[in-house]
Chains A and B, each alone.
Chain A
């Protein structure tokens, strides 16, 4: 106990002395810890900007839904002979597939979609958009916001498709469609014509393009949404798309089903079950299963690789900084040989001398680390602001506490490691020789 307090006394003395001589030789100390400062600044800023970038990308993927499975119809490419014989290519997901997905017990929701290009009219105004036949669940899965009205509702769907009179001709417009067909007026309550049928506009979506950065370039703003049952009633069980200039075409029942799973940990298994189901019921590979979670993990792996790289950069720059410290500490030991002799004569043990110089080196590098941290954090705040102002460029930064803690403790550690040899040298000096030194 007493011994620990004693060690504390000595350490505190050396600590105060170290700070004092740091202050006394400001410029020299600054130059000697410059390497550490630069190392720390680069670690913190690189880390923050790298993390910011990755953060944006990950958010993007998460928006797609990490608990989602996206099952799509894919036109089989290998089967050209088949196409010529039948002229109409039948492929893709079927209503039976869709019903089968619902058997999964980890499923939360399952949103079917069919989409096809379509001319949308309001009197003389016309817009070439895309019809999406889907269910109300679409809104949740894609996190849709509306500027007016409502999205599709359960009551828009009817159980028995086919009965013409029961079909509800309601439509929700994408923002571009609404703007083109109903400029400077509210669209809700008006009607549009799709394939000769009148549809009542019940809602208009918010601009969605801002939500789909990175990778996905689909233009959701020119979509219009109608109930799936209505779609089946008005356009038939299969969507037939004629290829321009020929009589051949292709027929698809469902283009996509977005399956939402209750838990991230079950997504992969659910994906396997669905893949199995489809493999059994389809003769051709006319479907695909995409797991956004995979992309998420891929992105996270990429980030980890980045972190390892950064770690090496940090190590290199801090090693360079450490060598600078070692250099200056060796010079300090020579310069203060006499002091060492005096201390030894007055009763300092070798270990006392070692401790003193070790603390001195560590204080230097720690102060360097703290300065670097301050500058680094400053840059993390200033650079995005400056680049937005001067280059009008978005520079995402995401400062986390771990790299800050890491670089300060590494700076400390560098002091210990690179201070060790000079401190050892100091402690091995012969007291008499040291006292004679001038």
Chain B
């Protein structure tokens, strides 16, 4: 099985007037299935740029990016959209739910763009996912009616709905207090325990401490890449959770 993500000598330059900002200067990285990676580094070190490239929201200036079986470094806009909808899940710092939609409808969005017909089956899948992240009693609520932690749970359910190869999280706890942050991280740990590959950007050591592998960046290159000897101990992940998630993920939607 190929690694989940493989990038080779990736560079990204931004061109401002005549000046080129070299945000990434040759990054090589492999992430295998089932890993939980934290990317750290000072502001301006290129974390977001890297995550945007990994998320197929942007194209590299040079280098290669293999996502699963596909070389996505030279794909056109439409193909990249397709890749995003099939293989990637996003969790943002500011949740980024659509305010007009209910919880269930928000979870449904990636399916719509993936080319699934919305029907009873997809609907019940979304409801089960909401249940999985602990929002079974909030299905018809709008984002405005939810707390930050609850909104981020909706975002997690939404990131899971298309059974992505990789979940990308950009400062997922940046807007949350420490107690809620821990809840969200527990949730991510459980997903990872169930086999999900997670790449997360953070600048907080406390948060990075949950991950199994920590990558440190500086000035657009990887400075350090080492396994986390002692990740923070999570609660026991129930086997019921794992089997529910796995049965949900394996159910074909197409």
| Inter-chain contacts of A13 with B (CB < 8 A) | 112, 118
**Does A148 sit at the interface, judged by CB under 8 A?**
no
In the complex the two chains form, what is the Cα distance from A435 to B117 in whole Å?
26
- Near A by CB (< 8 A), chain B positions 135-163 give 158, 162
A350 near B77 with CB under 8 A, answer: yes
A9 near B118 with CB under 8 A, answer: yes
Which has the most chain B C-beta neighbours within 10 Å: A17, A343, A346? A346
| Inter-chain contacts of B92 with A (CB < 8 A) | 435
**Does A390 sit at the interface, judged by CB under 8 A?**
no
- Which residue on B lies nearest to A13, using beta carbons? B112
**Does B175 sit at the interface, judged by CB under 8 A?**
no
In the complex the two chains form, what is the Cα distance from A81 to B117 in whole Å?
96
**Does B29 sit at the interface, judged by CB under 8 A?**
no
Q: What's the nearest-Cβ distance from chain B to residue A341, in Å?
A: 8
Surface stretch bound by A, among B82-90, B126-134, B205-213, B225-233:
B82-90
| Inter-chain contacts of A10 with B (CB < 8 A) | 112
- Which residue on A lies nearest to B158, using beta carbons? A346
A345 near B55 with CB under 8 A, answer: yes
Report which of B58, B81, B97, B100 forms a contact with A347, defined as CB distance below 8 A: B81
A6 near B115 with CB under 8 A, answer: yes
**Does B75 sit at the interface, judged by CB under 8 A?**
no
In the complex the two chains form, what is the Cα distance from A341 to B97 in whole Å?
11
Question: How many residues of B are counted as interface, with CB atoms below 8 angstroms from the partner's CB atoms?
Answer: 27
A431 near B57 with CB under 8 A, answer: yes
A352 near B84 with CB under 8 A, answer: no
A349 with B112, Cβ < 8 A, contacts A342-B98, A432-B58, A435-B96 known: no
A339 near B84 with CB under 8 A, answer: no
B100 near A21 with CB under 8 A, answer: yes
A347 near B96 with CB under 8 A, answer: no
A348 near B81 with CB under 8 A, answer: yes
In the complex the two chains form, what is the Cα distance from A339 to B96 in whole Å?
8
Contact with A along B97-139 (1 / 0, CB 8 A): 1101000000001101111011000000000000000000000
| Inter-chain contacts of A345 with B (CB < 8 A) | 55, 57, 84, 90, 96
A349 with B77, Cβ < 8 A, contacts A24-B100, A342-B96, A342-B98 known: yes
| Inter-chain contacts of B90 with A (CB < 8 A) | 345-346
Contact with B along A7-36 (1 / 0, CB 8 A): 001100100010011001000000000000
B110 near A346 with CB under 8 A, answer: yes
Which has the most chain A C-beta neighbours within 10 Å: B58, B96, B97? B96
**Does A147 sit at the interface, judged by CB under 8 A?**
no
In the complex the two chains form, what is the Cα distance from A293 to B92 in whole Å?
77
**Does B78 sit at the interface, judged by CB under 8 A?**
yes
- Which residue on A lies nearest to B97, using beta carbons? A342
**Does A268 sit at the interface, judged by CB under 8 A?**
no
Q: What's the nearest-Cβ distance from chain B to residue A105, in Å?
A: 70
B117 near A6 with CB under 8 A, answer: yes
Contact with B along A331-351 (1 / 0, CB 8 A): 000000011011111111111
**Does A5 sit at the interface, judged by CB under 8 A?**
yes
B96 near A349 with CB under 8 A, answer: no
Report which of A17, A20, A24, A343 forms a contact with B113, defined as CB distance below 8 A: A343
In the complex the two chains form, what is the Cα distance from A390 to B113 in whole Å?
60
A344 with B81, Cβ < 8 A, contacts A6-B117, A9-B118 known: yes
Q: What's the nearest-Cβ distance from chain B to residue A346, in Å?
A: 5
- Which residue on A lies nearest to B109, using beta carbons? A346
Q: What's the nearest-Cβ distance from chain A to residue B103, in Å?
A: 15
| Inter-chain contacts of A349 with B (CB < 8 A) | 77-78, 81-82, 113
B78 near A350 with CB under 8 A, answer: yes
**Does B28 sit at the interface, judged by CB under 8 A?**
no
| Inter-chain contacts of B110 with A (CB < 8 A) | 346-347
| Inter-chain contacts of B86 with A (CB < 8 A) | 347
In the complex the two chains form, what is the Cα distance from A315 to B117 in whole Å?
39
**Does B32 sit at the interface, judged by CB under 8 A?**
no
In the complex the two chains form, what is the Cα distance from A137 to B102 in whole Å?
79
In the complex the two chains form, what is the Cα distance from A263 to B30 in whole Å?
90
In the complex the two chains form, what is the Cα distance from A2 to B113 in whole Å?
14
In the complex the two chains form, what is the Cα distance from A432 to B58 in whole Å?
8
**Does B52 sit at the interface, judged by CB under 8 A?**
yes
- Which residue on A lies nearest to B78, using beta carbons? A349
In the complex the two chains form, what is the Cα distance from A341 to B82 in whole Å?
15
| Inter-chain contacts of A17 with B (CB < 8 A) | 100
- Which residue on A lies nearest to B114, using beta carbons? A347
- Which residue on B lies nearest to A8, using beta carbons? B117
A9 near B57 with CB under 8 A, answer: no
A432 near B57 with CB under 8 A, answer: yes
* Interface of B toward A, CB cutoff 8 Å: 52, 55, 57-58, 77-78, 81-82, 84-86, 90, 92, 96-98, 100, 109-110, 112-115, 117-118, 158, 162
9 further A-B pairs in the complex, CB-CB below 8 A; given A345-B55, A345-B84, A352-B113: A10-B112, A345-B96, A346-B110, A347-B85, A347-B113, A347-B162, A348-B85, A349-B78, A350-B78
Q: Could you name 19 residue pairs across A and B whose Cβ atoms are closer than 8 Å? A: A2-B117, A5-B117, A6-B115, A20-B100, A343-B98, A345-B57, A345-B96, A346-B110, A346-B113, A347-B81, A347-B114, A349-B77, A349-B78, A350-B77, A352-B113, A432-B57, A435-B57, A435-B92, A435-B96
Nearest 10 pairs of A and B residues by beta carbon: A347-B85, A347-B113, A349-B81, A347-B84, A342-B96, A346-B110, A348-B113, A431-B57, A346-B109, A349-B78
